[in-house]
Chains A and B, each alone.
Chain A
Amino acid sequence: MPTALESIDWESCLLEHHSDRALESYARKKMGLPSPTIGYFAPVPWLARAQVDLQPTYGLLMRLDPDVVDLVALVVSQENACRFCFAAVRALLWAQGMSRARIRELEHDLTRADLPTRTVAAMAFGRSQSRSGPSEARAANDALSRAGFGADERRELVFAVASMDFLNRVHTIPAIPVRPVERIPDQLHIRLMRPLIARIMRSHRRVGRAAPMDRAPSHPYTRLLGAYDGSPIAPALGRTLDDMWASPHLTRRCKLLMLAVIGRGLSCEACATEVGAALRAEGLDGDALGRILTRLDGPELDPVERIVVSFARETIWYEPATLQRRARGLRERLSPQQLLEAIGVAALGNGLCRMGGMVLDAA
């Protein structure tokens, strides 16, 4: 079943696959099925776990229809030209019983495939937030209100899109192999097991329940997490952020600088304010930060910071093969763990800043 993105250039994979039983079991327990890619991210556990923990339809959404979220995921992956995620979402739709003809119809004309108005509005929003960033997605957000989405549903949708923006980058930047996932619906044994797979998926996908945060959110992104207070999204995102800060491969300042660059590129005021304050707490004064963000360089930066600051801006808007070649160029300048962590921080930053721009700046 050829996909609409098969003509997209895709480099060979930058990462090595590591077998990690604990992580594999973690993914299987939460999603019911083995994750074929989690092993690529094993050297940086927070990034591997985040790909499971931030899956919206596994207990993070209280109001949005998961079928709508699947279609939004298809649109966002297409918009971000992520061949891997696009094929994965297609396989997921097929496994759940959607016919190949219907999938083809959706991917060739997503907005006109006899879908309900609400679904079309949600897909248009997903496309807009990913393609143009938060500053230009506000019109699509207004259209969501007109289509009957309440404030809580809109916030959930913003998260679902941001989560795909994160996952798309996590799989695109290191060029995770696409052929195995593109071939899933063509394999006889998978076709035979399709009803079983659908059943397992249905039993693991679940509606979220109101969940308080484990502890007060740490700075930055306090306001963003606060906006999701009461939703299971806040504790899940909070845990991912805490694990990301605690990971030792890049310094906290290095990660903050990457997030600041992405915030500047996406014009997210709320993120810029909080990340700027956190960088000041790290000893970087406002003038120096201003210079670094304007020039993506500066004498205050150490060699690793200089590399990842430039890399962070490449992840905002990109063509997959170009970005993959640039990431490959970093392999000789960063350790494998540093490269993987930089990919994770950049991917997460793109999701967070798109969320912040919609949920906080627009409020």
Chain B
Amino acid sequence: MTATAALVAALALLAVLAAVNYRQRKQNQSLRGQLEAAAAELQHLQTACSRLAPAGVVQRLVSDRSVTGEAAVAERKVVTALFADLAGYTAMSERLEPAALAQVLNGYFQRMSDAIHDNRGHVSTFLGDGILAYFGALQPNPWQCDDAVNAALAMQKSMREYNVELAREGLPALAVGIGIHRGPGLAGLVGSRQRMEYAFVGRTVNLAARVQTLTRVHRQDILVTEALRAEIDARFELAPMPPEIVKGIDEPVVTYAVRARAETPGAAR
């Protein structure tokens, strides 16, 4: 009787232990699942963030546990800034339904971003229907000036192709005006505690934006400054434009229209 009771007690104890063990394993499994889901979510978040700021900056922020960014991710650099703006958008926006307009705009942004990216540029921000991109901001790039002008020519070509598609759908043609300048500035994460962005701050960006406004004055698609002209490949066919006063700059700004790029190596301007 005593032996049976002991056996039953032992079996009961074993059953309890097995149940506890089972429950613990289930709990561990659930916790592991949660941990993996959290890790996957973090990875997804990091991937999403890399669309908003350069991957290196995101990685540094994550690894530095920095909330505000601040000085650790800002540095002085010489960068080439490209500023592009859409002509014909206002007229189109009055004609189209919001959904169709958004579709046209997204098509434009995608094509322009691809042209910039293919030429090693980085789209910093979309400003209304404008695009601000940098060359040489994320990594050292001794060929940044040629890359920027090649990107501008690729954007122009892509715009022509897009206009064929728009015409097929009965939509009016768009045109893009592009200003490019090269110079020093501060590259890094800037902004407030609530909102930060990777940006390049300084006169270089302002001048690129002003030069872009001159594309309408001179009726040209692509304009570059004297600082850029001095650096780019002689195979780019340039035409000098009359100097113009622009807002915020004391001296008249000399610009050159970019027409094309000759294919023969060593062709001189």
| Residues of chain A whose beta carbon lies under 8 Å from any beta carbon of chain B | 2, 4, 7, 104, 108-112, 131-133, 135, 264-267, 291, 294-299, 301, 306, 313, 316-317, 322
Q: Closest CB of chain A to B15's CB: distance in Å?
A: 30
Asked if B42 contacts A108 (CB within 8 A), the reply is yes
A112 to B63, CA, bound (A): 8
Partner-binding segment picked from B88-96, B105-113, B139-147, B212-220:
B139-147
B-side contacts of A301, CB under 8 Å = 265
Q: Given A295-B233, A298-B266, A7 and B140 touching (CB < 8 A)?
A: no
Asked if B142 and A264 make an inter-chain contact with CB atoms under 8 angstroms apart, the answer reads yes
Select A111's contact among B63, B141, B142, beta carbons within 8 Å: B63
| A316 / chain B contacts, CB cutoff of 8 Å | 139
| A-B CB contacts (within 8 Å), total count | 52
A4 in complex: contacting residue of B43, B118, B233, CB < 8 Å: B43
Q: Which of B47, B139, B146 has the most CB of A within 10 A?
A: B139
Contacts A267-B140, A301-B265; A104 near B39 (Cβ below 8 A):
yes
Judge if B56 is at the interface, Cβ distance under 8 Å. Answer: yes
Nearest-CB distance from B198 to chain A (Å)?
15
From B47, B118, B265, contact of A7 by CB (8 A) = B47
Assembly CA distance A297 to B232 (angstroms): 13
Chain B interface size range = 20 to 34
Beyond contacts A266-B140, A295-B146, A301-B265: 7 other A-B pairs, Cβ-Cβ < 8 A, are A109-B63, A131-B56, A133-B140, A294-B142, A297-B265, A316-B139, A317-B138
The answer to whether A298 touches B47 (Cβ under 8 A) is no
A131: chain B residues at CB < 8 Å are 56, 59
Q: Which residues of A contact B39 (CB under 8 A)?
A: 104, 108
Q: In the complex the two chains form, what is the Cα distance from A4 to B59 in whole Å?
A: 13
Neighbouring B residues of A135 by C-beta, 8 Å: 140
A294 to B265, CA, bound (A): 13
In the bound assembly, the distance between CA atoms of A267 and B65 in angstroms comes to 30
Complex Cα–Cα for A112 and B265 (A): 51
Q: List residues of chain B with CB within 8 A of the CB of A2.
A: 40
Q: Tell whether, in the assembled complex, residue B143 and residue A299 are in contact, meaning their CB atoms are under 8 Å apart.
A: no
Q: In whole angstroms, how far apart are the Cα atoms of A111 and B60 in the complex?
A: 11
- In the complex, the answer to whether A7 meets B43 with C-beta atoms within 8 Å is yes
Instruction: Output the least CB separation between A71 and chain B (Å).
Output: 14
Docked pose: A264 CA to B146 CA in angstroms: 15
Q: What's the minimum C-beta distance from A203 to chain B, rounded to whole angstroms?
A: 34
Bitwise, B244-269 to A at CB < 8 A (1) or not (0) is 00000000000000000000011000
Q: List 25 A-B contacts (CB under 8 A).
A: A4-B43, A108-B42, A108-B43, A109-B63, A111-B63, A112-B63, A112-B65, A131-B56, A131-B59, A132-B139, A133-B140, A264-B142, A265-B140, A267-B142, A295-B235, A296-B146, A297-B266, A298-B265, A299-B265, A299-B266, A301-B265, A306-B265, A313-B143, A317-B139, A322-B118
A296 touches B143 (CB 8 A): yes
Which residue from chain A places its CB closest to the CB of B138 in the assembled complex? A317
Q: Which residue of B is nearest A4, CB measured?
A: B43
> Which chain A residues lie closer than 8 Å to B139 at the CB level?
132-133, 316-317
B132-153 CB contacts (< 8 Å) to partner A: 138-143, 146
- Interface hits, B30-83 → A, CB 8 Å: 36, 39-40, 42-43, 47, 56, 59, 63, 65
The complex places the Cα of A306 from the Cα of B139 at a distance, in Å, of 24
> Least Cβ distance of B182 to chain A in Å?
14
The 8 A CB mask of B11-42 against A (1 = contact, 0 = none) is 00000000000000000000000001001101
Which chain A residues lie closer than 8 Å to B143 at the CB level? 296, 313
In the bound complex, CA of A196 to CA of B233 (Å): 59
Q: Please name all residues of chain B whose beta carbon is closer than 8 Å to the beta carbon of A266 when the two chains form the complex.
A: 140
Determine which residue in A266, A306, A317 has the highest number of CB atoms from chain B within 10 A of its CB, and name it.
A317
Question: Which 9 residue pairs across A and B have the least CB separation, nearest first?
Answer: A299-B266, A317-B139, A111-B63, A297-B265, A299-B265, A295-B233, A108-B39, A298-B265, A131-B56
CA distance A65 to B200 in the complex (A): 41
A322: chain B residues at CB < 8 Å are 117-118
B39 smallest CB distance to A (angstroms)? 5
**Alpha-carbon distance between A107 and B266 when the two chains are bound, in angstroms:** 48
